[in-house]
Amino acid sequence: MLNQAFFMGVEVVEKEIELGDGSKHMLHFRRVDSLRWKQYQVDIGSQDARRMAEAVHRLVMWSLCDAKGNPVLTWEQALSLKPEVLDAMWAAVQEVCRPSGAAKKKSQPEGKSGSGTPSRSPSAVDQ
């Protein structure tokens, strides 16, 4: 039996988005399943410009939901969102949908610093 932590539940996250005019709106989002996340990754890596552009719309459509986790946005509605609304929703979707650990960066070991550009002379750290 596989660990239940491997599987997605329907966790709904409430997020406030702010538009350029200063208005704030409370919306609900859910993490997308692995199939949809992989589809998004394929779409943004596509050579087809339209497919790449539609990737964000598609992920917003899949993630935006009501308080119970039911979809609330159709494909036609997603395509007709105002750019500033899409951008605000997209920021929330990225926070909710990004796989855990994806935003973590490797940090340099303590004591070492620098630009990462090779130097001709040894640094004080290496001496």
pTM above 0.85, yes or no: no
| Contact (CB, 8 A) for 11 and 22 | no
Residue 120 has pLDDT above 90, yes or no: no
| Domains identified in the chain and CATH numbers | 9-97 (3.30.2220.20)
Residue 86 has pLDDT above 70, yes or no: yes
> Using one digit for the tens of pLDDT, what is the confidence trace for 26-62?
999 999 988 999 999 999 999 999 999 999 999 999 9
8-16, long-range: CB within 8 Å, 24+ apart, which pairs? 8/33, 8/34, 10/69, 12/65, 12/67, 12/68, 12/69, 13/96, 14/67, 15/92, 15/95, 15/96
In the structure, what pLDDT confidence band is assigned to residue 100 with cuts at 50, 70 and 90? Answer: low
> Using one digit for the tens of pLDDT, what is the confidence trace for 101-112?
444 433 333 444
